[in-house]
């Protein structure tokens, strides 16, 4: 009897062990290791893009070289001669000079010689060369008799102030604006009032405003000649030695920024003062106006 009971117990234990073995899941093989490919992080691109081969320059210049058509005449020839293209930014001379200080241009073509020399002295430009000149003229309504024609700019401005005649100022810190303010200062007049309109615009737009208001304005001769057929304005004052208008070229110091195209700027500078281009400047406008709009004088 005891022997039979022992056999039952052993059979029970064996059954339990078999059940437990069947319930245990088989171990799954470990998944093979997969290599994670490396992802390249792109480098940050510069905010201002220029061709990697340096075939573009930024020219910051006064509006008169743009409005007169001179740049449209010269720059395609420069590109043909050198393979370098030019991005032009036409602003007032004060703004153009500031672009040089800020390293936002490669080369400057402007017309405020004292400020240009100061820019170079301060180290923002490497050198300055005379390029060409023309003159300023005072223009006013055709057939108007409020102001006599003459060759004394300061006397004419004094009459404009005394009579309250409409005068449209560039008001944009351009070379023309600087010249005008110098004249007012020399005759001890602070221009203000309804007669004095500060346009804050380029030369072409100021001529249009003066035309619309039947007023007077100081302009470079080149821009006036290029637009006179569409304006009811005529020259009132010319020939005063104080109306001389010199233009200069300045390559921006490459230390102003990594993006400065110093080689292209030097190439443009040497090109525009070369004998070939000085002759081109002398011829510009002769066929259409009977006289050159600019007189070359690079040394």
What is the phi/psi pair of residue 132, to 5°?
-170, 170
Q: How would you label 233-250 residue by residue, b for 16+ Cβ within 10 Å and e otherwise?
A: bebbbbebeebebbbbbb
Closest CA to 63 of 93, 85, 86: 93
pLDDT level of residue 172 (50, 70, 90 thresholds): very high
251 forms beta bridges with 107
Least trusted range by pLDDT, from 2-16, 100-114, 179-193: 2-16
**For residues 265 and 26, which has the higher predicted lDDT (pLDDT)?**
265
Cβ atoms of 293 and 68 closer than 8 Å: yes
pLDDT level of residue 15 (50, 70, 90 thresholds): low
DSSP code, position 277: H
% the chain with pLDDT above 70: 82
Average pLDDT over residues 208-236: 96
Average pLDDT over residues 140-150: 93
Which single residue is written with the structure tokens 């005068």?
Answer: 167
Q: Which helix (H) or strand (E) holds 28?
A: none
3-state helix, strand, coil in the chain (%, to 5): 45, 20, 35
Residue 141 confidence (pLDDT) above 60:
yes
Q: Which domains does the chain have, with CATH numbers?
A: 56-133+245-296 (3.40.190.10), 135-243 (3.40.190.10)
pLDDT level of residue 53 (50, 70, 90 thresholds): low
CA pair distance 211, 45, nearest whole angstrom: 47
pLDDT value of residue 35: 52
Average pLDDT over residues 128-157: 96
3-state secondary structure string, 204-248? HHHHHHHHHHCCEEEEEHHHHHHHHHHCCEEEEECCCHHHEEEEE
Residue 50 confidence (pLDDT) above 70:
no
Instruction: List all residues 6 or more positions away from 70 whose beta carbon is below 8 Å from its beta carbon.
Output: 222, 281, 284, 293, 294
Residue 30 confidence (pLDDT) above 80:
no
Average pLDDT over residues 159-183: 96
CA pair distance 78, 82, nearest whole angstrom: 6
Closest CA to 130 of 277, 248, 272: 248
Q: What angle do CA 182, 187, 192 make, to 5 degrees?
A: 75
* CB neighbours of residue 77 within 10 Å: 13
Residue 6 confidence (pLDDT) above 90:
no
pLDDT value of residue 299: 81
Residue 178 structure tokens: 């600087």
138 forms beta bridges with 218, 237
Q: What is the pTM of this model?
A: 0.75
Average pLDDT, the chain: 87
CA pair distance 13, 118, nearest whole angstrom: 107
């Amino acid at each position: 009897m005891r022997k039979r009971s022992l056999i039952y117990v052993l059979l029970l234990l064996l059954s339990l062990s078999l059940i437990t073995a069947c319930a245990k899941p088989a171990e799954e093989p470990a998944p093979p290791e997969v290599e994670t490919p490396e992802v390249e992080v792109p480098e940050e691109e510069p905010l201002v893009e220029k061709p990697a081969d340096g075939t573009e320059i930024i020219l910051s210049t006064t509006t008169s070289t743009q409005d007169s058509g001179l740049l449209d005449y010269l720059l395609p020839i420069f590109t043909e001669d050198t393979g370098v293209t030019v991005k032009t930014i036409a602003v007032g001379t004060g703004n153009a000079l500031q672009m040089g200080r800020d390293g936002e241009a490669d080369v400057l073509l402007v017309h405020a010689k004292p400020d240009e020399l100061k820019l170079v002295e301060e180290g923002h430009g490497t050198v300055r060369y005379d390029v060409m000149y023309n003159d300023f003229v005072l223009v006013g309504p055709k057939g108007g008799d409020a102001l006599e024609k003459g060759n004394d700019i300061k006397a004419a401005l004094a009459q404009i102030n005394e009579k309250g005649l409409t005068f449209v100022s560039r008001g944009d810190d351009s070379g023309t604006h600087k010249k005008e303010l110098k004249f007012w200062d020399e005759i001890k007049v602070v221009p203000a009032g309804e007669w004095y309109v500060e346009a804050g615009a380029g030369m072409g737009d100021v001529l249009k405003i003066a035309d619309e208001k039947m007023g007077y304005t100081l302009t470079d001769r080149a821009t006036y000649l290029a637009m006179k057929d569409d304006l009811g304005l005529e020259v009132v004052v010319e020939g005063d030695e104080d109306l001389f208008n010199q233009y200069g070229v300045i390559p921006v110091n490459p230390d102003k920024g990594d993006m400065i195209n110093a080689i292209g700027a030097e190439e443009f500078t040497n090109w525009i003062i070369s004998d070939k281009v000085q002759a081109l400047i002398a011829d510009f406008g002769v066929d259409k106006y009977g006289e050159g709009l600019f007189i070359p004088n690079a040394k």
